[in-house]
Amino acid sequence: MKLKAELIKLKEGQRLHQCDVPIIAITGGIACGKSTVSDYLSSLGHFVINADQLVKEIYQTTEAVNFIKATCPNAISEGSIDFKKLRQEVFNSPELKNKIEQFIYQRLPQAFYIKKQAMKPDQQVIFYDVPLLFEKGLDSQVDLHWCVYVSEQTQIERLVIRDSISEADAKKIIAQQMPIEEKKKRAHRVIDNSKSKEQTFQQLESLLGELI
**Segment 53-91, tens digit of pLDDT:** 999 999 999 999 999 999 999 999 999 999 989 988 998
Q: Which residues pair with 24 in a beta bridge?
A: 127, 144
Least confident of 142-151, 167-176, 182-191: 167-176
pLDDT at position 154, please? 97
Query: What is the pLDDT, as a whole number, of residue 100?
Result: 97
Which region among 6-10, 12-16, 92-96, 127-131 has the lowest average model confidence (pLDDT)?
92-96
- pLDDT of 92: 86
- Give residue limits of the domains in the chain: 20-46+124-212, 52-122
pLDDT at 193: 98
Residue 169: other Cβ atoms inside 10 A:
14
Summarised one tens digit per residue, pLDDT across range 23-42 is 999 999 999 999 999 999 99
Q: What is the pLDDT of residue 91?
A: 83
pLDDT one-digit tens code per residue, 106-115: 999 999 999 9
* pLDDT > 90? residue 127: yes
Is the pLDDT at 176 greater than 90? The verdict is no
pLDDT cut 70: percent of the chain above it: 100
Collapsed DSSP state (helix, strand, coil) of residue 82? coil
**Would you say residue 131 has pLDDT above 90?**
yes
Domain 20-46+124-212 has CATH 3.40.50.11810: no
pTM: 0.93
